Chains A and B, each alone.
Chain A
């Protein structure tokens, strides 16, 4: 399989667009801040995107849609979509979004402002917003893409799985291009929800560190435009990156605890490499799920130890923008892609002393080296796992 990425963008606390994110990576500047989210009294750090409160969307109003909209304005995503609509027609382009919260932020707001009879006020009667498919409805509407569209909601693996679905749609020939994306925003449900599971750290998260004590939540939007390898690239400055494999699996273990031996995660990684016809020793870098929870990082680290030689570099980038849940898959896949594209492997920021039970090639500092093949891991509640494999087209 070879599916080309012709453009991509990312918006998070670590950068409003991909160029800013690259700068944050290069200068090791985290976007995390002490929790200052209105009406949320939890001692933690968050990856909050500035300016979302100022986005006016009328009947589409929600924080999640505001972030989806802000993400679309970055870089050349919209102009490339216009070019593709001209080349193929809008109906031959698909939209596959991933999210875990959709626009529940808006439902939360509606419930704080009920009328005297306890009903939703008229400005909150927004059927297209208060539903789990809202992200793809909104993005299709605001890009003018009219082909098939849907939203994948598999918690924190959502926007990794969008690449698998996008690739299948292209291979089946039902579309000629797919806009895949992920968007999730901070809101009471996720902050109080993860707090109730005692998973939230009072400090900046430190993935894989011996002293790590939990996650930081963040918000992000990310997009990538996918085409088949036979797409005419002449008019484009394509980044030269291809999706070459994906793996999808289930833990079949617990709704919110990972499988103790990482069996589901192992299956997803093995499937991705098998589809890409790659051996573990060929993988230069793995962007880990690495939430900084005690359980995830130990299990994922042990899995890396058992599957890969020490020449494979790994890191978690969650200390830059927090765990962005349904947007984490694409945000981190694009950081893995950036390692291929620029030769900058992002460090595992905030790592001081590696978990003493682990023996893997991980460091806090960035590592400049040419990469040919990379993987990105994303695991979600319900034991839902995904792994993506990308290659540098020119060098591999």
Chain B
């Protein structure tokens, strides 16, 4: 019922999480391969200067690592790329740090941890590390974080008529908050997207439908399934799964109480 003419294609992919360390690994995992876990606790993105990298929390390092991979693979100059970051949970390790410190008799916060606690810390570190002065956004929409932000980013790319970096990331939840926010997995996926015509190779058509939807089932290992279920950013795997699906495949993602995001792999 609700129709718009939004089409985009993916110019570059970056990924870091579970046992995958780049976009190619992730594609293999989605195809059912089991990759050997290298035991890494988190990425060390080379684009962040070493002194800043030491202060960067895991959530930021995840987001910046996959972002840099995606931009390098996209062929687009990083200076030209607006960016949209989405994390459904925020940095719960820093939430835990601040709330623990503030529950004490003598309250004091580290200034670095305080400025790192803003939800747009990843966007901040990214633009500072790359020198990019374009628009940067940082978004959350709880369980619909991935679908709502994909819609927002595709609309922005179309409005600006230029490519845009889009990064979905959520780190494991701190112990106390895990009683309600279940996520145990580090996950980040970045895509550089460009607005395109519907007949372009690789075009994905996006529209908003007045209907409700459940998150589509995802094939893969139990660990991947758990990540998809509990990590709000990892819900974007529903888009990644379209990559190797037949042309014409349609996927509907929950978007709001009465709408769904319809994605169609056109070609």
Interface readout for B133-165 with A: 1 if CB under 8 Å, 0 if not?
111111111101100110110011011000000
Is B28 in contact with chain A by the CB < 8 A criterion?
no
Whether a CB of chain B sits under 8 angstroms from the CB of A149 is yes
Partner of B102, one of A140, A150, A168, A189: A189
Among B3, B109, B156, contact of A196 (Cβ-Cβ < 8 Å): B109
Q: Which residues of A contact B4 (CB under 8 A)?
A: 172-174
The number of residues on chain A lying at the interface, defined by a beta carbon within 8 Å of a beta carbon of chain B, is 73
Known: A192-B109, A382-B118. A153 touches B127 (CB 8 A): no
Chain B residues, CB < 8 A from A255? 115-116, 118, 121, 124-125, 128
Q: Are A383 and B119 in contact (CB under 8 A)?
A: no
**Scoring A residues 239 to 255 as 1 if CB is less than 8 Å from chain B, else 0, what string do you get?**
00000000011111111
Q: A111-B99, A383-B127 are in contact. Are A168 and B259 (CB under 8 A)?
A: no
Residues of chain B touching chain A, judged by Cβ–Cβ distance below 8 Å, are 2-4, 6, 82, 87-90, 95, 98-103, 107-111, 114-121, 123-125, 127-128, 130-142, 144-145, 148-149, 151-152, 155-156, 158-159, 176-177, 179-181, 208, 210, 255-259
Which residues of A are at the interface with B, using a C-beta cutoff of 8 A? 40-41, 89-92, 100, 102, 104, 107-108, 110-112, 114, 118-120, 125-128, 130-134, 136-137, 140, 146-155, 161, 165, 168-169, 171-174, 188-189, 192-197, 248-256, 263-264, 267, 380-384
- A256 to B82, alpha carbons, bound, how many Å? 20
**Chain B residues closer than 8 Å to A188, beta-carbon distance:** 98, 102, 107
**Within 8 Å CB of A169, what residues of B?**
152, 155
Chain B residues within an 8 Å CB radius of A140? 256-257
A371 CA to B208 CA, complexed, in Å: 39
- Which A residues are CB-close (under 8 A) to B176? 111, 114, 118-120
Contacts of B101 in A (CB 8 A): 192
The answer to whether A172 and B258 touch (CB under 8 A), given A155-B118, A196-B111, A264-B133, is no
Show 8 A/B contacts (Cβ-Cβ < 8 Å), sorted by A. Answer: A90-B258, A91-B210, A91-B256, A130-B177, A132-B90, A146-B256, A193-B114, A381-B124
* Residue in A148, A165, A264 with the greatest tally of chain B CB atoms within 10 Å: A148
Name the A residues within 8 Å of B151 (CB-CB): 148, 174
CB distance B142 to A193 under 8 Å? no
Q: Are B89 and A131 in contact (CB under 8 A)?
A: yes
List the B side residues contacting A155 at CB < 8 Å. 118-120
B136 and A384 contacting across the interface, CB-CB below 8 Å: yes
B257:A172 contact, CB within 8 angstroms: no
Rounded to whole Å, the gap between the CB of B149 and the closest CB of chain A is: 7
In the assembled complex, the Cα of A188 lies from the Cα of B106 at a distance in Å of 12
Given contacts A146-B259, A252-B127, A252-B128, contact A108 B139 (CB under 8 A): no
Query: A249–B142 Cα gap in the complex (Å)?
Result: 25
Flag if A147 contacts B127 (CB, 8 Å): no
| Residue pair A133, B159 in contact (C-beta under 8 Å) | no
A140 to nearest B CB, angstroms? 7
Are A149 and B258 interface neighbours, CB within 8 A?
no
A154 close to B159 (CB less than 8 A): no
Closest-CB distance, B107 to chain A (whole angstroms): 5
Provide the bound-state CA to CA distance between A40 and B111, in Å.
17
Question: A132 to B90, alpha carbons, bound, how many Å?
Answer: 6
For residue B158, which residue of chain A has the nearest CB? A172
